């Protein structure tokens, strides 16, 4: 059974002092009976504060990005080995990074390779623009992204198998716009993503890869996505800064995890 994962992407919000307090509050408010993997991804400068605040809570810490090289003259960048002891997860290829930093699938694949080497569990983001969906190209575009990113492992396929790959499907047109994909559409895309992983050369890995939904997720709408067996959690943006919202999202995830574990849903 694939795990249920709720990952909070705080983006460029919180100071270290604010982050520690917020992380502790969310950890306390999101304890559930069902097996749900909780991850909080604060800004780089808040990683240590969040790590300390979450010690013993069962909530993991993730970074929001990592560089594609181990060391070098890259002012302002952070490499995977630098995150040792600070984070155990990392978000890669978020649509905002693709848009604002011109990150390509090839570059994201190189980052994924570095994350895997460093033992960081990756959440790789893929997703289409509105024009892609309106012209019926959504699945083709996302499939090409999957192929492009995983191409970094063509010479060492076993390295991908062992990294604990998670994919986050984030329809770009649903991020911060007030628009949402439908649960059925997200589920169809999750199936397409796993098919693309298989076509790229990992047919045995594909069925077990968790696919999260990310696109203006809230406590009010997360149930529609978690009701789909193909969806295994959420990458939460703005709502992840609100303890009440996170409590509702994780509570629903807990119910889903319990139902799947008992074969009820």
Do 250 and 28 contact (CB within 8 A), yes or no?
no
List 96, 103, 170, 245, catalytic entry: 170
Q: Alpha-carbon dihedral of residues 60, 66, 72, 76, nearest 10 degrees?
A: -100
Place of tokens 């993503």: 193
Q: What pLDDT is attached to residue 262?
A: 86
Q: What pLDDT is attached to residue 150?
A: 98
Does this model's pTM top 0.85? Answer: yes
Flag residues of the chain having pLDDT under 50: none
Which helix (H) or strand (E) segment holds residue 9: the answer is strand 4-9
What structural domains does the chain harbor? 4-262 (3.20.20.70)
Question: Taking Cα atoms as reference points, which of 66, 44, 157, 155 lies closest to residue 119?
Answer: 66
Q: What is the DSSP string of 85-97?
A: TT-SEEEES-HHH
Question: Taking Cα atoms as reference points, which of 202, 223, 214 lies closest to residue 64?
Answer: 214
CA 178/CA 123 separation, integer angstroms: 23
CA 18/CA 159 separation, integer angstroms: 37
94 catalytic residue (yes or no): yes
Contacts of 100 (CB under 8 A, 6+ apart): none
DSSP single-letter state for residue 231:
-
Contacts of 24 (CB under 8 A, 6+ apart): 53, 54, 57
Question: Taking Cα atoms as reference points, which of 196, 194, 191 lies closest to residue 148?
Answer: 196
List 68, 94, 96, 128, catalytic entry: 94
CA 152/CA 113 separation, integer angstroms: 7
Q: What pLDDT is attached to residue 178?
A: 67
């Amino acid at each position: 059974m694939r795990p249920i994962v709720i990952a909070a992407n705080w983006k460029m919000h919180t100071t270290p002092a604010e982050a520690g307090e917020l992380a502790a509050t969310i950890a306390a408010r999101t304890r559930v009976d069902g097996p749900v993997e909780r991850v909080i991804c604060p800004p780089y400068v808040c990683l240590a504060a969040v790590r300390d605040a979450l010690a013993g809570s069962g909530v993991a810490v993730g970074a929001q990005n990592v560089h594609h090289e181990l060391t070098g003259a890259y002012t302002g960048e952070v490499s995977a080995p630098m995150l040792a002891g600070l984070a155990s997860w990392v978000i890669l290829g978020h649509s905002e990074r693709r848009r604002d930093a011109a990150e390509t699938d090839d570059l994201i694949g190189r980052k994924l390779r570095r994350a895997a080497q460093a033992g960081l569990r990756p959440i790789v983001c893929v997703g289409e623009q509105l024009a892609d969906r309106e012209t019926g190209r959504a699945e083709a575009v996302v499939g090409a992204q999957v192929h492009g990113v995983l191409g970094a492992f063509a010479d060492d396929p076993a390295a991908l198998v062992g990294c604990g790959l998670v994919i986050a499907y984030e329809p770009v047109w649903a991020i911060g716009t007030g628009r949402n994909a439908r649960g059925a559409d997200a589920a169809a895309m999750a199936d397409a993503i796993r098919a693309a992983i298989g076509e790229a050369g990992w047919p045995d890995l594909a069925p077990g890869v968790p696919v999260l939904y990310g696109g203006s997720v809230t406590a009010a709408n997360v149930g529609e996505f978690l009701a789909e067996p193909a969806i295994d959690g959420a990458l939460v943006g703005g709502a992840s800064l609100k303890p009440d919202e996170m409590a509702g999202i994780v509570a629903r995830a807990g119910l889903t995890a319990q139902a799947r574990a008992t074969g009820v849903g």
